[in-house]
């Protein structure tokens, strides 16, 4: 973990509190001990602006997934604070954290997004079922229509294509109107066309519904759908880019991929 990265990102000016959906303040995470020690996050500070689509990029092992897991309350941090909608996640007990995930956070994972024994519709309403809440029918209809899955609602995940599965996952994330959606390489397992469908859908949900989305990806084309891109290397945010395009992202990535890889 040396050179190349100008430590400017850590000093980014924070937008006004109202405009921030989630933020991290000097969070650190270390895996392993002694020689096997890996610093996954090295005092990262970041704000996720509300109503926008943020992509997190970085080479393998850069800590991008860890950052997302920690910000989403899926994993604990060793130090620092994580806020979602003004709540400090690091102060929460498991029960409160579970409730927060259930009520305020939506997830889309790379794979194994759906409970295989439930139908598409049951998967979509699962978070509300777990919470014992009735889904908002009107909103649910709108989400289902936007995703374009109405004819397949009664199908099991195994009967859906990969792209359809990811769209069901997106619909599930949206259905409970969370404060923020975290997507972990949502197109990682998809062909480019299905990937484009899913990304368009995510983009639309930000533009049209005002949803806040954080997406981890290593694909510059996917990152190009975002409003801004955060670049991570060796557990630090090394750069940000507004209104990205695939070419500019690719160009930027080339800059630190090699040294970062060698440092491992």
Partner 1 sequence: MMGRVTLRNLAAHKIRLVLTAVAVILGVAFVAGTLIFTDTMNGRFDQLFDKIGKDVAVQVRGTALGEGTDDQGEKERGPVPAALLAKVAAVPGVKNATGNVTGYAALVGRDGKIVGDEGQGAPQLGINYTPGALTAIVSGRAPAAGGEIAIGDAMAKKTGYQAGDRARVVTTSGVQPVTIVGVMDSGDMMGATTVAFDTATAQRLMLKPGYFTDITARSTGVPEDVLRARVARVLPAGTEAITGTAMRAESKDAIASFMGFFRALLLSFALVSIFVGAFIIFNTFSMLVAQRTRELALLRAIGAARAQVTRAVLGEALAVGVVGSTLGIAAGAGLAALLQGLIGSGGGLTVTATPIWVSYLVGVLVTVVSAYFPARRAAKIPPVAAMRDDVALPQRSLRVRVAAGALLTLAGAALIALGLGGDGGNPAAIVGAGAFGVFLGVTLLAPVISVPVVKVLGWPFTKLFGATGRLARQNALRNPRRTAATAAALMIGLALVTAVDVLGSSMRASVGAQIDQQFGADYTVSGTGGGGVSPADAKRVAAVPGVRNTVPVYVGKALFGTAKGNSSYIAGDVAALARAARLDMISGSARAGADGVLLDKKTAEKRGVAVGGTLTAAFADHSTVPLRVSGIYEKSDFLGGIIAPAKVYLAHADKPVVDTLVIDAGGATKAKTAALKNAVKDNPALKVQDKQAVKDQVNGQVDQFVNFLTILLVMSIVIAAVGVVNTLALSVTERTREIGLLRAIGISRLQLRRMIRVESIVIAVFGALLGMGIGVAFGAALQNALADDGLDVLAIPGGTLAIYLAIAAAIGVLAALWPAWRAGRMDVLKAISTE
Instruction: Please identify which residue in 113, 166, 205, 211 interacts with partner 1, judged by CB under 8 A.
Output: 113
What is the distance between the alpha carbons of residues 202 and 223, in angstroms, rounded to a whole number? 12
Site for partner 1 in 154-173 (CB under 8 A): 172
* Stretch binding partner 1 (CB under 8 A), from 16-24, 80-88, 113-121, 142-150: 113-121
* Stretch binding partner 1 (CB under 8 A), from 123-131, 135-143, 190-198, 254-262: 123-131
246 binds partner 1 (CB under 8 A): no
Instruction: Identify which of residues 115 and 258 has a Cβ nearer to partner 1 in the complex.
Output: 115
78 binds partner 1 (CB under 8 A): no
CA nearest to 174, candidates 139, 224, 199: 139
Min separation Cβ 51 and partner 1, Å:
22
Instruction: Please identify which residue in 10, 78, 81, 129 interacts with partner 1, judged by CB under 8 A.
Output: 129
Min separation Cβ 126 and partner 1, Å:
6
Min separation Cβ 247 and partner 1, Å:
29
* Stretch binding partner 1 (CB under 8 A), from 31-39, 54-62, 94-102, 145-153: 94-102
Min separation Cβ 242 and partner 1, Å:
28
**Residue with token string 């405009």:** 19
Instruction: Please identify which residue in 47, 179, 184, 239 interacts with partner 1, judged by CB under 8 A.
Output: 184
Site for partner 1 in 25-64 (CB under 8 A): none
Instruction: Identify which of residues 55 and 183 has a Cβ nearer to partner 1 in the complex.
Output: 183
Query: Does residue 83 contact residue 22 with C-beta atoms inside 8 Å?
Result: yes
241 binds partner 1 (CB under 8 A): no
Radius of gyration of the chain (CA): 18
Q: With contacts defined by CB under 8 A, how many residues of the chain interact with partner 1?
A: 32
* Stretch binding partner 1 (CB under 8 A), from 13-21, 44-52, 118-126, 203-211: 118-126
Min separation Cβ 13 and partner 1, Å:
31
11 sits in the region (left: phi over 0; alpha: psi -120 to 50; else beta) called: alpha
234 sits in the region (left: phi over 0; alpha: psi -120 to 50; else beta) called: left
Binding site for partner 1 (CB under 8 A): 65, 69, 74-75, 94-95, 98-99, 101-103, 106-107, 109-118, 122, 126-127, 129-132, 172, 184
């Amino acid at each position: 973990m040396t050179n190349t990265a100008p430590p400017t990102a850590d000093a980014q000016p924070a937008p006004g509190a109202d405009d921030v959906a989630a933020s991290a303040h000097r969070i650190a995470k270390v895996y392993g001990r002694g020689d096997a020690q890996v610093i996954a996050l090295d005092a990262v500070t970041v704000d996720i602006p509300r109503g926008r689509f943020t992509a997190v990029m970085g080479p393998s092992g850069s800590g991008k997934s860890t950052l997302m897991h920690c910000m989403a309350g899926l994993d604990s941090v060793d130090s620092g604070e994580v806020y979602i909608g003004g709540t400090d996640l690091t102060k929460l007990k498991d029960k409160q954290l579970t409730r927060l995930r259930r009520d305020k956070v939506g997830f889309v994972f790379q794979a194994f997004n759906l409970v295989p024994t439930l139908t598409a519709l049951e998967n979509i309403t699962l978070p509300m079922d777990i919470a014992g809440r009735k889904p908002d029918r009107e909103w649910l209809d709108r989400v289902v229509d936007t995703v374009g899955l109405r004819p397949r609602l009664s199908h099991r995940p195994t009967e859906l294509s990969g792209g359809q599965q990811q769209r069901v996952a997106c619909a599930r994330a949206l259905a409970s109107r969370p404060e923020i959606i975290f997507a972990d390489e949502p197109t990682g397992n998809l062909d480019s066309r299905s990937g484009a469908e899913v990304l368009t859908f995510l983009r639309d949900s930000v533009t049209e519904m005002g949803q806040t989305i954080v997406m981890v990806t290593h694909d510059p084309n996917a990152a190009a759908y975002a409003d801004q891109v955060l670049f991570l290397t060796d557990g630090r945010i090394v750069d940000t880019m507004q209104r990205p395009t695939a070419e500019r992202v690719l160009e930027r990535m080339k800059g630190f991929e090699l040294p970062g890889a060698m440092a491992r």
